Structure 1
Amino acid sequence: MRPKLTDVAKKAGVSVTTVSRVINDYGYISQKTRDKVFAAMEELNYQPNSLARSLHGKSTNLVGLIFPAITNPFFAELVEKIEQKLFSEGYKVILCNAGSDKEKEREYLKMLLANQVDGIIAGAHNLGIDEYNRVGLPIVSFDRKLSEQIPIVSCDNYAGGKLAVQELYNAGARHIYFLGNPHQQGNPTDQRLAGYCDTLETYGLSRHIHTVSFSESPSLKLFSIKRLLQESVADGIVCTDDLTALLVLQAAKELAIKVPEQLKVTGFDGTTQIQLYHPELSTIVQPISDIAELLVEVLKARIKQPTEPLKQMQYKLPVTFLQRNSTSRSN
């Protein structure tokens, strides 16, 4: 049976009120009494109720993380880095996998509020959730515009889209396509397409935009990409993420299209896993560790001073290009 506050009090030889005051660090308690209470808690493996502590005005030291598709290597690595950073700062996390389900994300928001988390880091892809304007908690967004009052941390998506086109052009590509979501919704990731379009205009090249959806199954994406390669004159493709880029390489292999001789491909994200297991893929590398650290630092500042006016609403971190065999011949 789970130990209760009364069990701790009995073991320590003190009152329930004294145990509560020790746990909530309220009022004067001698060090000897504190030691007795903590020793009893450890012996009984008693865990204080975070919600009960919050009702006494104490921090729960819990942070909610809301992300999509945590099986995606990019989000998996980012969440891991965020959790490590938060843990080192004394916080525990509640991880919510919202996927592409708006109602699911709303339910997770309610659950995080019920658990009295100190703050939320949100990076799910669902849009139009008005609750973000009313939760009354410190929130920081990754790569998504959730509200006018919520700060955003992201990489420099525009520079990434621009850099990808430049690398393909310098490698000899002249019919450069973009694979991603063409719908502009005010999110930082929209800037990948903007960087692509502006750079093509600089080179005097035509735009070719092919839609792929984040929520679409890999098999449907692969089918769509194979049709694109069969029906187009593409000799260069800027992909909005690494997993899409890998599908392009797979489609090219199945169609006997030589990479990089006939087709050059760049991804976007550059996780450690992709770099290790797919060394053939050239990609735009996001500074994942730096993004995680900045998300946590901005959230901590909001938790410490929740009513302080925001000095900055958007933070952009630089990207780099990792050149591999998908854009140039190996030596």
Structure 2
Amino acid sequence: MATIHDVATKAGVSVTTVSRVLNNRGYISEKTRKKVFDIMAELNYQPNEIARSLLRKQSNVIGLIIPMVSHPFFSQLANDVEYYAYQAGFKVMLCNSQHDPVKEREYIDMLKRNRVDGIIMGSHTLEVEEYRHLHSPIVTIDRQIDNEIPSVSSDNYRGGELAAELLIMKGCRKIAHICGNQELDMLSNLRTDAFYEIMRKYGVQPITLQTDMNMFAHMEYERIIDKLLEEHPDTDGIFTTSDIIATFAIKGCMRIGKKVPQDVRIIGYDDVNVSSWMLPELTTIRQPIGEMGRLAVELIRRQLEGEPFEVENVLPVQLVERSTT
């Protein structure tokens, strides 16, 4: 296997020059740069990335921990994080915690051992103190840890307001709200807070159903919705805090012969791709998922470069009205 010394000897340059070409450091003429790359290709030289990262004290790898890669929101987020990370010169190491605190802790330990440049946290089952002592640039998605670690979220409160206002405007009065477990310390809980506030303003007492601690258990969604429609058959409006729950609400209505939106109006949250692919197309609150991914990568970069950054980053949401309202 060819070494950096072999490349330098055949190219007629110093090892330092080859190193500068590899790391894009210092002035190197285009003629010399091309010659070094041509020799590397000819010798099939593969740089030792681990050794290079130790030398530079930078791996150009970002860790991304999410609770479930198959969930449409997190799969879109992971795709966008990878895209923007690659544009910024980083690779992404994806960790799927499946909402398991033991697994999440093991992934954090693995990322530390691999000397990743930073960690984007989309899974939050561990106690806050475990994040504070990572000693690496961190960005959290939809959760604030303290006043030094930056977070990225959509305007969850405004999203809850928009959903509530639309259902009221459409004439709904027997309204149900299906949300994640409020014991989890998530910024997404603000969707529910805002929804309640608007309901109180209009004198409406909503029916509230929470999912269990495993917020991604699809069979749980089906059970909750069937129970809602059985115990409250006059429900005429439903706001769910994710598009996936909303799709189960549509299916639940169809199973018992209720028409959407004629009998029940339904609003989701996220605007994942499936929202516009299904029939009827889902009315939802759009999170700017791509911008959330871009900003998370940018915040890692800013921390690495010692540049100033905002700790709290709240991005605007948008009501996207489709066929279910």
Shift of 1:53: 1.9
Which residue in 2 is equivalent to 1:326? 324
In the alignment, the residues of structure 2 paired with residue 188 and residue 179 of structure 1 have an alpha-carbon distance, to the nearest angstrom, of: 16
Decide which moves more: 40-49 or 170-179. 40-49
Q: Are the structure 2 counterparts of residues 41 and 132 from structure 1 closer, same or farther at C-alpha, using a change threshold of 3 Å?
A: farther
Instruction: Mark the CA change 1:228 to 1:26 in structure 2 (over 3 Å): closer, same or farther.
Output: closer
| Secondary structure at 2:56 match in 1 | coil
Q: Which residue of 1 aligns with 2:227?
A: 227
Q: Is the 8 A contact 2:269 2:286 kept in 1?
A: yes
CA distance in 2, matches of 1:32, 1:322: 54
Does 2:294 correspond to 1:293? yes
Structure 1 unaligned spans of 5+: none
Partner of 2:251: 250
1:147-191 Cα offsets, whole Å, 9 max, x none, are: 443111110001101111111111111121110124254421110
Cα separation, partners in 2 of 1:23 and 1:228, compared to 1, 3 Å: same
**1:10: Cα distance to partner?**
6.2
Aligned 8 A contact 1:282 1:323 in 2: yes
Specify the alignment match of 1:282 in structure 2: 283
CA apart distance, 1:32: 6.6
| Alpha-carbon displacement from aligned partner over 1:281-301 (angstroms, at most 9, x marks no partner) | 111111122222222222221
Counterparts of 1:278 and 1:65 in 2: how far apart (Å)?
33
Name the structure 2 match of 1:270.
271
Aligned pairs (5 A) from 1:148-163? 148-163=147-162
In structure 2, the CA distance between the partners of 1:6 and 1:319, relative to structure 1 (3 Å rule), is same
Partners of 2:162 and 2:183 in 1: how far apart? 20
Most deviating of 105-114 and 176-185: 176-185
Give runs of aligned pairs for residues 186-265 of structure 1, distance below 5 A.
186-213=185-212, 214-232=214-232, 233-265=234-266
| TM-score normalised by length of structure 1 | 0.87
CA distance in 2, matches of 1:215, 1:249: 18
Aligned partner letter, 1:229? L
In structure 2, what is the Cα distance between the partners aligned to 1:20 and 1:208?
A: 64
- Per-residue CA deviation, residues 244-265 of structure 1 (Å, 9 max, x unaligned), is 0000100111111222222111
Query: Relative to structure 1, is the Cα distance of residues 80 and 252 closer, same or farther in structure 2, using a 3 angstrom cutoff?
Result: same
Q: Deviations over 1:121-172 (max 9, x none)?
A: 1111423153311111111111123444311111000110111111111111
Measured against aligned partners, the alpha-carbon deviations of 1:49-103 in whole angstroms (never above 9, x if no partner) come to: 3332232235322111111211111111122122111211222111111220112
Report which stretch shifted further, 200-209 or 22-31: 22-31
Name the residue aligned to 1:164: 163
- Decide whether aligned partners of structure 1 residues 30 and 326 sit closer, same or farther in structure 2, where only a CA change above 3 A counts: closer
What's the CA shift string for 1:207-261, capped at 9, x where partnerless? 3210124545322321221111111142211101000000010011111122222
How many Å separate the matches in 1 of 2:149 and 2:296? 12
CA contact 1:9–1:16 (8 Å) conserved in 2: yes
Mean Cα deviation higher: 40-49 or 238-247? 40-49
Offset of 1:272 from its aligned partner?
2.9
SS of corresponding position for 1:104: helix
Return 5+ residue gaps in structure 2 as ranges.
none
User: What TM-score does the superposition give when structure 2 sets the normalisation length?
Assistant: 0.88
Bigger mean CA offset, 42-51 vs 112-121: 42-51
Please report how far the alpha carbon of residue 6 of structure 1 lies from its aligned counterpart in structure 2 after TM superposition.
5.6
> 2:123 and 2:64 mapped to 1: Cα distance?
9
Amino acid at match of 2:193: A
Partner of 1:219, secondary structure, is helix
Please name the residue that 1:65 is paired with. Answer: 64
1:101-180 matches, within 5 Å, as 101-128=100-127, 130-180=129-179
The whole-number CA distance in structure 2 between the counterparts of 1:53 and 1:103 is 31
Q: Secondary structure of the equivalent of 2:94? A: strand
1:25-61 Cα deviation digits (max 9, x unpaired): 6789887765554333223443323332232235322
Judge conservation of contact 1:180–1:240 (CA < 8 Å) in 2: yes
In 2, Cα distance between equivalents of 1:288 and 1:14: 47
Taking the aligned partners of 2:50 and 2:131, their CA distance within structure 1 comes to: 21
For residues 318 and 25 of structure 1, do their structure 2 counterparts lie closer, same or farther at Cα, with a shift above 3 Å needed?
closer
RMSD after superposition: 2.6
- Which shifted more, 247-256 or 294-303? 294-303
Cα distance between partner residues in 1 of 2:187 and 2:321: 24
Q: Which amino acid aligns with 1:225?
A: I
